[in-house]
Homo-oligomer: A and B are copies of this chain.
Amino acid sequence: MAKVITFGEIMLRLQTYDHQRLIQATELEATFGGGEANVAASLAGYGHDAYFVTKLPDNLVGAWCQSELRKYNVKTDYIARGGERLGVYYVEKGASQRASTVTYDRAHSSISTAQPEDFNWDVIFNDAVWFHFTGITPALSDGAAALCLEACKVAKNKGLTVSCDLNFRKKLWTSEKAGQVMGGLMEYVDVVIANEEDADRVFGIRAKATNITSGELSDEGYRDVARQLVKRFGFSHVAITLRESISASINNWSALLYDGKEFYKSKKYHINIVDRVGGGDSFGGGLIYGFLEQYSTQDTIEFAVAASCLKHSIEGDFNLMSVQEVRNLMGGDGSGRVQR
Contacts and interface: CB of A to CB of B under 8 A. Distances in A.
Given A84-B107, A337-B99, A19 B315 contact: yes
A332 B211 CA distance: 12
A140 interface: no
A214 B337 CA distance: 10
B22 A313 contact: no
A197 to B, nearest CB: 10
A14 B26 contact: no
A29 B25 CA distance: 9
Interface residues of A, number: 88
B245 A272 contact: no
Interface in A2-61: 14, 17-31, 59-61
Interface string A145-170: 00000000000000000000000011
B272 A320 contact: no
Residue from A19, A30, A31, A321 with most neighbouring chain B CB atoms (10 Å): A30
Given A249-B336, A336-B248, A23 B67 contact: yes
Interface in A162-210: 169-171
A309 interface: yes
A98 B61 contact: no
A325 B97 CA distance: 10
